[in-house]
């Protein structure tokens, strides 16, 4: 027997000695497992080796999120640097740029380098720039975006990219978290992957934004924004990677199932975004930007700063209907 050095210590090896590359069901609680997530290793290693000519990138999460240094949007960004930024976004899924002293107009121009911008019908905009959604929270208007979601999946063509700028943020609180939905899909059991391979989700704006629509306009708005169908598993057009495209806010039910029948699976799939190993967390400062791929990540805006004031502006790039 190995000498432990103290009579109270009976262990001869680490409790996780047999967990190399394995998950372990920790208790009788459903879905509670411990141990490494080995499917992250290859992507983490690949991303860590990427090099860029026009800027430096520092990874934040294991497979998602990188801070970009060496870009000054106010002074203009070369075509070469823009091309690299676009590619970095595909790779890291969300990128962050600090100390960007830019105006709302400059934010719009930068965002338009990624494509045509949408106008959000249910969230107030910057009055001078309708392509910028303005989130101005404080004592009278609390943040309620603290649930994992992709943006505007109730659109036939959900936005593909979002560019969010911190206009003014509290000294503490108000961070935003992002979760890698490619990693979330890859981490599913093969049986679940088989079950959802051809599953279609029906998305609806009304659970989140229906209360804003006057009753007399409901029929008109419903005609303009009908229920839409998107595959539960999408394939990214640039990377070719599969991603999980389900969230609790906008998915109403699965095609061929009632909402009641759909709820357990909606909840189970949505829970995949909650794995901290799939996430990164960004602490905002004034004049910082987050640019994310709305297909590859979900996000969660922490609502821990009330009643302090937090002002953000977001531009969103029109996408295409997700493909299996």
Using a 10 angstrom Cβ sphere, with 0-12 exposed, 13-18 middle and 19 or more buried, the burial of residue 219 is exposed
- C-beta separation of 64 from 178 below 8 A: yes
Q: Which of 203, 241, 299, 310 is catalytic?
A: 299
Q: What DSSP element (H or E) covers 186? A: helix 181-186
SS percent in the chain: helix, strand, coil, step 5: 25, 25, 50
Question: Catalytic residue among 151, 180, 204, 293, which?
Answer: 151
User: Exactly one of 120, 149, 203, 295 is catalytic; which is it?
Assistant: 149
CB 280 within 8 A of CB 178: yes
Return the SS3 of 207: helix
- Is residue 86 flagged as an active site residue? no
Q: Which of 39, 68, 90 is nearest to 277 (CA)?
A: 39
Question: Which helix H or strand E contains 263, and what residues bound it?
Answer: helix 259-270
Q: Which residues contact 279 (CB under 8 A, 6 or more apart)?
A: 61, 64, 177, 178, 179, 180, 273
CA separation, residue 116 to residues 95, 144, 229, 319 (Å): 20, 27, 23, 9
Q: Answer yes or no: are the C-beta atoms of 232 and 200 closer than 8 Å.
A: yes
The structure tokens listed for 200 are: 């279609």
Active site residue 314: yes
Residue 217 backbone phi and psi in degrees, to 5: -110, 0
First to last CA, the chain: 56
CA distance 265 to 257: 11
Residues designated catalytic: 149, 151, 299, 314
């Amino acid at each position: 027997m190995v000498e432990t050095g103290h009579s109270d210590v009976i262990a001869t090896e680490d409790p996780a000695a047999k967990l190399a590359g394995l998950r372990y069901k920790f208790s009788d609680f459903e879905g509670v497992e411990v141990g490494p997530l080995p499917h992250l290793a290859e992507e983490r290693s690949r991303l860590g080796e990427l090099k860029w000519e026009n800027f430096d990138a520092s990874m934040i999460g294991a497979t998602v999120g990188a801070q970009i240094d060496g870009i000054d949007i106010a002074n203009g960004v070369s075509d070469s640097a823009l091309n690299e930024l676009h590619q970095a976004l595909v790779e890291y899924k969300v990128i962050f740029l600090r100390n960007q002293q830019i105006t709302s107009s400059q934010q719009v121009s930068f965002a338009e380098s990624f494509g045509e911008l949408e106008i959000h019908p249910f969230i107030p905009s910057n009055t001078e720039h309708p392509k910028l959604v303005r989130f101005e929270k404080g004592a009278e208007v609390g943040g309620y975006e603290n649930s994992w979601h992709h943006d505007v999946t109730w659109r036939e063509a959900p936005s593909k990219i979002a560019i969010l700028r911190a206009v003014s943020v509290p000294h503490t609180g108000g961070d935003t978290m992002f979760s890698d939905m490619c990693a979330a899909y890859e981490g599913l059991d093969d049986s679940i992957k088989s079950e959802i391979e051809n599953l279609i989700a029906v998305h609806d704006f009304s659970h989140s934004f229906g209360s804003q629509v006057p009753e007399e306009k409901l029929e008109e708005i419903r005609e303009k924004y009908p229920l839409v169908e998107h595959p539960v598993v999408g394939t990214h057009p640039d990377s070719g990677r599969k991603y999980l495209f389900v969230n609790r806010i906008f998915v109403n039910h699965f095609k061929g199932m009632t909402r009641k029948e759909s709820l357990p699976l909606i909840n189970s799939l949505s829970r995949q975004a909650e794995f901290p190993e799939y996430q990164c967390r960004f602490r905002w400062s004034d004049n910082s930007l987050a640019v994310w791929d709305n297909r590859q990540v979900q996000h969660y805006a922490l609502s821990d700063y009330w009643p302090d004031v937090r002002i953000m502006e977001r531009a969103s790039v029109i996408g295409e209907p997700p493909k299996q």
